[in-house]
Structure 1
Amino acid sequence: MVTKIVPRRSHERGNADHGWLKTFHTFSFAMYSDAEHDQFGCLRVLNEDRVEPQTGFGTHPHREFEIFSYIVSGQLEHQDSMGNREILKRGDLQMTSAGTGIRHSEKCYGSQQIHFLQIWSLPSKRGLTPTYYTRHFTDDEKRDKWALIVAPSGKPGVSESREASGPAPVHSPLSLFATLLSSSRSLPHTFPTTGSGPARKAYIHIAQTSGYNPRQASGTRVKVSGGESVVELREGDGAYIMGEPGKDVVVENVGNSIAEILLFDVE
Structure 2
Amino acid sequence: MPVHIIPRPSQDRGNADHGWLKTFHTFSFADYYDPEHSSFGSLRVINEDRVLPGEGFGTHAHKEFEIWSYLVSGELEHRDSLGNVEILKRGDVQLTSAGTGVRHSEHTAGSVPVHFLQIWARPSTPHLQPQYYTRHYTDAEKADKWVKVVAPITEEGVKPEREADGPTPVHGGVTMYASLLSPGKTLEHLVPGKEGDGKQRKVYVHVIQTSGYNEGAAKGNEVRLSGGGNDVLLKEGDGAYVLATGGETLGLENVGQGKAELVLFDVDAE
Instruction: Give me the whole-angstrom Cα distance separating, in 2, the residues matched to 1:172 and 1:184.
Output: 35
Cα shift at 1:228: 1.4
Instruction: Give me the whole-angstrom Cα distance separating, in 1, the residues matched to 2:154 and 2:244.
Output: 25
Q: SS at the partner of 2:256?
A: coil
Instruction: Give me the whole-angstrom Cα distance separating, in 2, the residues matched to 1:216 and 1:130.
Output: 37
Q: Which residue of 2 aligns with 1:131?
A: 131
Q: Which residue of 2 aligns with 1:262?
A: 263
* Aligned-partner residue type, residue 184 of structure 1: G
Instruction: Give me the whole-angstrom Cα distance separating, in 2, the residues matched to 1:122 and 1:130.
Output: 14
Instruction: Give me the whole-angstrom Cα distance separating, in 2, the residues matched to 1:214 and 1:240.
Output: 22
* Aligned-partner residue type, residue 220 of structure 2: G
Q: Which residue of 2 aligns with 1:246?
A: 247
Q: Which residue of 2 aligns with 1:15?
A: 15
Q: SS at the partner of 1:129?
A: coil
Cα shift at 1:25: 0.3
Cα shift at 1:197: 6.8
Instruction: Give me the whole-angstrom Cα distance separating, in 2, the residues matched to 1:56 and 1:65.
Output: 20
Cα shift at 1:216: 2.5
Q: In the alignment, is residue 141 of structure 1 matched against residue 151 of structure 2?
A: no
User: What are the Cα deviations for residues 176-219 of structure 1, in whole angstroms up to 9, with x where unaligned?
Assistant: 00000000000110011259971111000000001111242110
Q: In the alignment, is residue 221 of structure 1 matched against residue 222 of structure 2?
A: yes
**In the comparison of the two structures, how many residue pairs are matched?**
267
Instruction: Give me the whole-angstrom Cα distance separating, in 1, the residues matched to 2:40 and 2:91.
Output: 25
* Aligned-partner residue type, residue 93 of structure 2: L
Q: Which residue of 2 aligns with 1:185?
A: 185
Q: Which residue of 2 aligns with 1:95?
A: 95
> Which moves more between the two structures, 231-240 or 196-205?
196-205
Residues 10, 214 of structure 1: 8 Å contact kept: no
Q: In the alignment, is residue 202 of structure 1 matched against residue 195 of structure 2?
A: no
Residues 176, 264 of structure 1: 8 Å contact kept: yes
Q: Which residue of 1 aligns with 2:168?
A: 168
Q: SS at the partner of 1:172?
A: coil
User: What are the Cα deviations for residues 63-122 of structure 1, in whole angstroms up to 9, with x where unaligned?
Assistant: 000000000000000000000000000000000000000000000001010000000000
Residues 180, 261 of structure 2: 8 Å contact kept: yes
Unpaired runs of 5+ in structure 2? none
* Aligned-partner residue type, residue 76 of structure 2: L
Q: In the alignment, is residue 24 of structure 1 matched against residue 24 of structure 2?
A: yes
* Aligned-partner residue type, residue 257 of structure 1: G
* Aligned-partner residue type, residue 165 of structure 1: D
User: What are the Cα deviations for residues 2-35 of structure 1, in whole angstroms up to 9, with x where unaligned?
Assistant: 1010100001110111100000000000010000
Unpaired runs of 5+ in structure 1? none
TM-score, normalising length from structure 1? Answer: 0.98
Instruction: Give me the whole-angstrom Cα distance separating, in 1, the residues matched to 2:29 and 2:60.
Output: 16
Q: SS at the partner of 1:158?
A: coil
* Aligned-partner residue type, residue 153 of structure 2: S
The alpha-carbon distance between structure 1 residues 197 and 93, as it changes in their structure 2 partners (threshold 3 A), is farther
TM-score, normalising length from structure 2? Answer: 0.97
The alpha-carbon distance between structure 1 residues 152 and 197, as it changes in their structure 2 partners (threshold 3 A), is farther
Cα RMSD after superposing both structures: 1.2
